[in-house]
Structure 1
């Protein structure tokens, strides 16, 4: 019997230019949105997301402000944080303790290279669970939890960054966002996770000028550069 929660994908599923997609949704969008709606209708959230009051604040940064009173009231009480590098504490709440009904998807990337195939044969197949945020900010608000059984603290890892980027690339919706908040940055659970949700407002970071801070190529010509993923 096939597990319907497992979402398999390859690099061919990535959408690199969402602006070229005309009002269509990817397989990932369809799966995430439909399952999130099912969980909402089943009453698994702590409150309903009614029409939230949203404003674009005046000023050059165009910050987006949203009034979500119920999140302030119903959100899980944050754990005591003493350091941004605080160790994982199995006695505290973590995402291995959630209600199984809160699981949306389990992301599984199919091997496309010999390196990935070797990793899979060695039993180190990476896993990333997608679960609902029971105190949501926006429609589709979910948590990406890489390798939950390894009990990583809320400190970014290479895999977490990669999973965040790949999840964004799996969506055809330009409003799908992925973000990370650290300990001391309003993270309430010290168990590695990222946030994903749909927000139909442009963020300043999307159009801000940027430049590379580290070249992976050095003095090599472009065709000699290795690909780092």
Structure 2
């Protein structure tokens, strides 16, 4: 059985400007990941010294790396034509992996199967993992809203047989509370906040935005340097919900900031409202959670971005640049050394901007999201 790491709200770290890289959480992740390497659970040999460089013809500090093996040796991604497709038990999913591929679980309770951190068998870079919430529910790659029921019973002082105890409790429920949360977003926030690493990221790709498996999961990894989305300024979009807009590029992104762990559930609900709207309207999207600067103060925060973009259907790949959540965030790996050697920031931005929806569609989406956040 895998280990369990209890999320500690008193030891969170939101800073992307720190020399500290690893704490108990990071040491466990790295130890278990290296143990998986020793068991030959990966599809190729991990290159710990892969080439990487910064695109230095601009101001983004955009990082690129070389990774030939991932494209050549990874599991062939499934082809999707729509953002919302039912879960298919006949295809690969995370209930089919070996137990040894589960590194550990993470939550603030003691549930060893609620929030699983597993290896990505074809990693982008060392310590690349997947975050799989409630894998036994076999949810498709859609951010779900979970209704968690909390039932408060009276104290029972005297021991009694089980049947009598059940009858008593069912007849004397004091209070039932329903807590609504987009649990996978909370999971992603806890993953990022639990780490000491300043450049850790968690992210989700929808179907038609380079998700390769239709079983709910996020990616998690340490990036080699600070990503531009950790510090880039964003404009105010919706004051009531504290939502911002990243409109420096096409595609655009909605953005939220989390200043304290008490906000995880509340902000996850707003993220759910937006991603659910995008899913229902068949709009491809990517989500990233990073540490960064506050949009409105000098605080350290978690930043959550939700890009809405052109769909990529049937696994279409482009010769030089392909953009999932990680590439939109500021880090891209590629299999072709010629592209690696010649890519510039200006060319990369041109490719990124081609993912933008039409001006009319963008304005319609933003108007609809404002209405959603008003309620």
Equivalent of residue 126 in structure 2, options 122, 129, 139: 139
Cα pair distance change 1:100/1:126, threshold 3 Å: closer
Q: Distance in 2 between matches of 1:129 and 1:139?
A: 18
Q: Distance in 2 between matches of 1:130 and 1:227?
A: 23
1:181 corresponds to which residue?
Answer: 205
Q: Distance in 2 between matches of 1:5 and 1:85?
A: 33
Deviation at 1:126, TM superposition (A): 8.1
Deviation at 1:127, TM superposition (A): 1.2
* TM-score (norm: length of structure 1): 0.81
1:117 corresponds to which residue?
Answer: none
2:114 corresponds to which residue?
Answer: 127
Q: Distance in 2 between matches of 1:186 and 1:87?
A: 17
8 Å Cα contact 1:53/1:66 also seen in 2: yes
Query: Which string of whole-angstrom CA distances, capped at 9 and with x for unpartnered residues, describes residues 31-89 of structure 1?
Result: 10111111112211111222222122233434322221100111111112121111111
8 Å Cα contact 2:138/2:215 also seen in 1: yes
Deviation at 1:156, TM superposition (A): 2.3
Q: Distance in 1 between matches of 2:61 and 2:209?
A: 21
* TM-score (norm: length of structure 2): 0.51
8 Å Cα contact 1:130/1:142 also seen in 2: yes
Relative contact order (alpha carbons < 8 A, sep ≥ 6): 1 or 2 greater?
Answer: 1
- Please give the secondary structure, in 2, of the residue aligned with 1:97: coil
Which residues in structure 2 correspond to 1:143-158 (within 5 Å)?
A: 143-157=130-144, 158=182
8 Å Cα contact 1:132/1:143 also seen in 2: yes
Equivalent of residue 34 in structure 2, options 29, 34, 37: 37
2:225 corresponds to which residue?
Answer: 201
Q: Distance in 1 between matches of 2:95 and 2:194?
A: 25
Between stretches 23-32 and 162-171, larger displacement belongs to 23-32
8 Å Cα contact 1:108/1:126 also seen in 2: no
Q: Distance in 2 between matches of 1:146 and 1:199?
A: 22
1:15 corresponds to which residue?
Answer: 13
2:172 corresponds to which residue?
Answer: none
Q: Distance in 1 between matches of 2:235 and 2:143?
A: 22
Structure with more of its chain in strand, by fraction: 2
Equivalent of residue 22 in structure 2, options 16, 21, 25: 25
2:237 corresponds to which residue?
Answer: 213
Deviation at 1:163, TM superposition (A): 0.9
Deviation at 1:211, TM superposition (A): 4.4
1:93 corresponds to which residue?
Answer: 92
Q: Distance in 2 between matches of 1:4 and 1:77?
A: 28
In the alignment, structure 2 segments of 5+ residues that lack a partner are 145-181, 243-261, 266-375
Deviation at 1:200, TM superposition (A): 1.9
8 Å Cα contact 2:107/2:187 also seen in 1: no
Aligned residues: 206
- Please give the secondary structure, in 2, of the residue aligned with 1:39: helix
Task: Work out whether 1:49 is the aligned partner of 2:73.
Answer: no
Q: Distance in 2 between matches of 1:201 and 1:27?
A: 21
Q: Distance in 2 between matches of 1:24 and 1:202?
A: 13
Deviation at 1:149, TM superposition (A): 0.9
Query: Which string of whole-angstrom CA distances, capped at 9 and with x for unpartnered residues, describes residues 93-126 of structure 1?
Result: 1001101110101112139xxxxxxxx9xxxx98
- Please give the secondary structure, in 2, of the residue aligned with 1:180: strand
